[in-house]
Amino acid sequence: MLGKLLGAFIGSKIDKRDGQGGVKGAVIGAVAAGAIRRAGPLGLLLGGAYVAKKAFDKRKAGRPGTPRA
């Protein structure tokens, strides 16, 4: 279930970056979810860590008075 959620998150981010929408993000998200599932627990851990880091960076950038890298 977590792999499907992560795949959907990746797909939505690709669609937003692309600007066109459509099937591209959904397909890449599904492939990413399959790859994470096949990589096992380590792949799931690395994928979750990546998403957490991106969320942390986004939240940190939104705070006033923090230096941006």
In this structure, is residue 30 part of a structural domain? yes
For 30-47, how does the pLDDT look when each residue is reduced to its tens digit (9 = 90+)?
777 777 678 788 877 887
C-alpha 30/C-alpha 25 separation (Å) is 8
Enter the tokens of residue 9. Answer: 């998150």
Residue 11 lies in a domain: yes
Share of the chain above pLDDT 70, in %: 70
Give pTM, 2 decimals.
0.43
34: nearest Cα among 11, 52, 13, 53? 11
Q: Which of 55-64's residues contact partners 24+ apart within 8 Å by CB, and which partners?
A: none
Structurally, the chain folds into a number of domains equal to 1
- Domain limits for position 49: 2-59
Q: Is residue 64 part of a domain?
A: no
Residue 33 belongs to a domain: yes
Please report whether residue 17 resides in a domain.
Answer: yes
In a domain, 68, yes or no: no
